Amino acid sequence: MAVPLLKATIIEHGLTVHEFVLIEVTLFQSALASALSAPGPERAQKAREAGVDPVNLDFIDKHKAELEALQAKNMPKDSTF
């Protein structure tokens, strides 16, 4: 890994770099799928067809406020986003 401080922080928190990347990709995929999928009885089936575990959609929905707070907390103050 090209960023030793990041690697050390990941390992310090009990993860391997592979686990960290897998978590981040899963979180991104699930958040995107949750944002793009309409609520309804066929939501879970459509998620499965798209390769997304419906449990992950439920997690995103349940923890939306917490995830948004973490994003706001970690967004650079001088960001133009």
Per-residue pLDDT of the chain (81 residues; tens, 9 = 90+): 688 999 999 999 999 999 999 999 999 999 999 998 888 889 999 999 989 999 999 999 999 999 999 988 988 777 565
DSSP class of residue 51 equals T
Q: Which of 35, 3, 81, 63 is nearest to 43 (CA)?
A: 35
76: its two tokens: 């650079």
**Spatial contact of 44 and 37, defined as CB atoms under 8 Å apart:** no
Instruction: Look up tokens 């390769």; give the residue.
Output: 51
CA distance 35 to 2: 32
CA distance 56 to 53: 5
